[in-house]
Amino acid sequence: MAAKMRKRWTAAAWFLAGAVLTGSVLFGVYQIRWVKDRLAWRLDAAAGIAAGWLHPGETLPTPAHAVAEFVSPTPFFASPTPTLPEPGVTPQPTWTPLPESASLPAPAWEKQDWNNCGPATLALAMRYFGWDGDQRDVSGLLKPDPGDKNVNIEELAYYVRTRAGWLNAEYRVGAELVTLKRFLAAGYPVIIEKSLILPESEGGGGWAAHYVLLTGYDDASGEFLTQDTYHGANLPVSYEDLDERWHAFNHVFLVVYPAGDAEVIAQLLAEESDPEVNRQRALERSQAEIAAIPQDAYAWFNLGTNLSYFERYGEAAQAFDTALGLGLPWRFTRYQFGPYIAYFRQGRFEDVADLATATLYRTSKSEEARLWRAWARYSLGDLAGALEDLTAALEVNPNYLDAQYALDYMRGG
């Protein structure tokens, strides 16, 4: 009997040793860059699909403490409802007529890495002006963990302003198609954020955000020319399709330019070189869009975002409630964080925590959701949970200063 037991233990030991050795070899092979590049996104996609099975649903939940849905945007209007301009038409100022087309030299194209459209697209824009780098230089600072699925427009601007030497960047919201054309005609490519539909094989498919670089337009065909790090170089996109997909992101755009061209950029922005003026006009645009289509969830979300800019958090929270009640894609708060801020400022800490948790179910490496859930948990008296979230946020992005500040604050340091 003793001999049999020794044989069994020996066999078990050899099996365990073999499993450890195999695991070590596989781990070592996985660290080889070209192997990791080919497998990492597939593992992430599989994890996303599994998360979708565990937490199904195509839209984000409505907050438990949401106010009643508005039937009109009237409470937000301090003046008569503004008129929504036609796409591609600007009401101010009087401009020199634009050429019917413009085409800029396309920068050397590169395919984006896993979850890396923001850094890759910014690399293209900077490369147009002679920057010598690639997307990994950008992502190394802004998203060192490839599993981080978002870089926001402020972060892209920050990289240019602090890491790109002779270049600078400006971004604005609430823009019209004609604004994009104006910059292109003046010789400046433009980055926009818009939506796309992913195939089922990528994290469960469905609605997602995507950056593209515009390098030209043609009124005859009604198309912009895009440099798309996911789909390919020199791809035409119709004015209508671009405008529709741009709408979910408050019509935001970013322009990179040589620092010496600051005056030219200010002239192209005109009165909206003042961010306050720009945001007020964006607010009026979102109001007009709601007046035209009261069931437009994206317009309500844009309204909340623009109200938050002016620290009108009570009204912003109600606008976000309405947007969520109408239905927003489940990935939405992976990219935009206005509801966390507005709800937190209104003392709606449980709603912040619930919305962040819904986001983290399927986007576990969202450092922004971790940050705001941490503040909510801290405010609800759960210090341990808050510190756990902040630690996780900094594991994803050690350069995330907001999370480091929160961690120091909550630890009393």
Q: Where are the domains of the chain?
A: 60-79+293-410, 101-273
Task: Please tell me if the domain spanning 60-79+293-410 has the same topology as the one spanning 101-273.
Answer: no
| pLDDT in the model for residue 1 | 59
Kindly report which listed range (41-45, 58-62, 66-70, 286-290) carries the lowest average pLDDT score.
41-45
Hey, which bits of 116-221 come out as E strands? 167-172, 190-198, 206-218
Is residue 405 predicted with pLDDT exceeding 60? yes
pLDDT band at 42 (very low <50, low <70, confident <90, very high): very low
Q: Look at the domain 101-273 and name its fold.
A: Cathepsin B; Chain A (3.90.70)
Contact 386, 374 (CB under 8 A): yes
Is residue 154 predicted with pLDDT exceeding 50? yes
pLDDT band at 111 (very low <50, low <70, confident <90, very high): very high
Q: How far apart are CA 154 and CA 118, in angstroms?
A: 11
| pLDDT in the model for residue 73 | 43
Q: What percent of the chain has pLDDT over 70?
A: 79
Instruction: Note the pLDDT tens digit of each residue in 165-202.
Output: 899 999 999 999 999 999 999 999 999 999 999 988 77
Using DSSP, state whether 317 is helix, strand or coil: helix
| pLDDT in the model for residue 81 | 41
Contact 238, 217 (CB under 8 A): no
Q: What is the mean pLDDT of residues 209-223?
A: 98
Q: How far apart are CA 383 and CA 381, in angstroms?
A: 6
Contact 278, 272 (CB under 8 A): yes
Is residue 70 predicted with pLDDT exceeding 50? no
Class at the top of the CATH hierarchy for domain 60-79+293-410: mainly alpha
Q: How far apart are CA 253 and CA 110, in angstroms?
A: 21
| Residue with the larger pLDDT of the pair 393 and 32 | 393
| pLDDT in the model for residue 30 | 44
Kindly report which listed range (58-67, 122-131, 384-393) carries the lowest average pLDDT score.
58-67
The dihedral sign for the CA sequence 355, 374, 209, 35 = negative
Q: How many Å is the Cα radius of gyration of the chain? A: 24
| pLDDT in the model for residue 65 | 85
Distance (Å) of CA 77 to CA 117, 122, 153: 37, 37, 28
- What are the φ and ψ backbone dihedral angles of 130, each rounded to 5 degrees? 95, 10
pLDDT band at 66 (very low <50, low <70, confident <90, very high): confident
Instruction: Note the pLDDT tens digit of each residue in 265-274.
Output: 999 999 999 9
Q: How far apart are CA 97 and CA 100, in angstroms?
A: 9
| pLDDT in the model for residue 188 | 98
Is residue 10 predicted with pLDDT exceeding 70? no
Is residue 381 predicted with pLDDT exceeding 70? yes
The dihedral sign for the CA sequence 180, 186, 189, 190 = negative
Task: Please name the residues in contact with 229: beta carbons below 8 A apart, sequence gap of 6 or more.
Answer: 109, 110, 111, 112, 116, 117, 120, 121, 124, 135, 211, 212
pTM of the complete model:
0.85
| pLDDT in the model for residue 15 | 60
Number of helices (H) and strands (E), helices first, in the chain? 17, 7
Out of 67-71, 204-208, 327-331, the most confident range is: 327-331
Q: How far apart are CA 153 and CA 161, in angstroms?
A: 12
Bridge partners, 237 (sequence order)? 224
270, 347, 338, 352: which is closest to 310 by C-alpha? Answer: 338
370, 363, 298: which is closest to 334 by C-alpha? Answer: 363
Burial of 220 (0-12, 13-18, 19+ CB in 10 A): exposed
169, 227, 200: which is closest to 49 by C-alpha? Answer: 200
Contact 344, 406 (CB under 8 A): no
Question: What type of residue is 267?
Answer: Q
pLDDT band at 140 (very low <50, low <70, confident <90, very high): very high
pLDDT band at 87 (very low <50, low <70, confident <90, very high): very low
Q: How far apart are CA 274 and CA 221, in angstroms?
A: 33
Alpha helices, DSSP H, located in 153-296: 153-163, 177-185, 239-246, 262-269, 275-292
| pLDDT in the model for residue 135 | 97
Contact 268, 182 (CB under 8 A): yes
